[in-house]
């Protein structure tokens, strides 16, 4: 006759294996969590600021809860402003990180583009340099009251 050991699963594990098991359970529970940089901010006209990582911040049309169409304004959106008619965005271009060979991209801090989304028509104008952005805002009679705000401040 074989004697069965008393106790639950964790009690029967040796102490070293207990720590490994607990660590693996903890790791698996964290692996399913979204990152701190994952968020969305609803904008007028069914658009959203969508962030899936530190530098992957876009403006995309919302299809349904938690689902978006392809980006209207590509990565990395750094500033946004809007009213009931227009969404304005400032985007910094991402470049390959020369110090990292893992296809990592970093912001090109001196390379900005500007975008205008007409909420009523869905027309997206951009990328524009700063002067063309100012000219286009004037041409479209966009309110001067719309101020671009840092995306991190409005999330």
Give residue 60's pLDDT.
Answer: 92
| Structural domain spans, the chain | 39-154
Q: How confident is the model over 121-155, as pLDDT tens digits?
A: 999 999 999 999 999 999 999 999 999 999 989 87
Please count the other Cβ atoms lying within 10 Å of the Cβ belonging to residue 27.
Answer: 9
CA dihedral 80, 84, 86, 88 (to 10 degrees): -10
Phi, psi of 115 (to 5 degrees): -135, 150
Whole-number mean pLDDT of the chain? 80
Give the residue, 23 or 143, on which the prediction is more confident.
143
For the four alpha carbons of 21, 23, 28 and 29, in that order, the dihedral sign comes to positive
Beta strand pairing call for 105-118 and 86-96: antiparallel
Average pLDDT over every residue of 78-101: 88
Q: How confident is the model over 84-95, as pLDDT tens digits?
A: 999 999 999 878
What proportion of the chain, given as a percentage, has pLDDT over 90? Answer: 43
Q: How far is CA 68 from CA 15, 18, 71, in A?
A: 48, 43, 8
Give residue 130's pLDDT.
Answer: 96
* Its pTM surpasses 0.75: no
For the four alpha carbons of 108, 113, 118 and 123, in that order, the dihedral sign comes to negative
**Is the pLDDT confidence value at 68 over 60?**
yes
Look-up of token digits 């990592």: 104
Which pLDDT band, with edges at 50, 70 and 90, does 34 fall under?
A: very low
Sheet bearing 57-64, strands edge to edge = 39-43, 47-51, 57-64, 67-68
Helix (H, G, I), strand (E, B) or coil at 130: helix
């Amino acid at each position: 006759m074989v004697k069965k050991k008393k106790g639950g699963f964790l009690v029967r594990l040796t102490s070293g294996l207990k720590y490994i098991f607990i660590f693996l359970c903890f790791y698996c529970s964290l692996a399913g969590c979204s990152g701190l940089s994952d968020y969305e901010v609803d904008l007028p006209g069914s658009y959203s600021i969508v962030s899936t990582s530190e530098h992957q911040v876009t403006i995309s049309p919302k299809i349904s809860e938690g689902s978006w169409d392809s980006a209207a304004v590509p990565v990395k959106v750094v500033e946004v402003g809007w009213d009931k008619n227009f969404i304005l965005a400032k985007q910094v271009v991402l470049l390959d990180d020369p110090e990292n060979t893992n296809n990592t991209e970093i912001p090109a801090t001196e390379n900005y583009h500007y975008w205008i989304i007409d909420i009523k028509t869905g027309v997206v104008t951009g990328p524009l340099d700063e002067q063309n952005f100012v000219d286009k805002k004037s041409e479209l009679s966009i309110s001067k009251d719309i101020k671009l705000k840092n995306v991190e401040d409005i999330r």
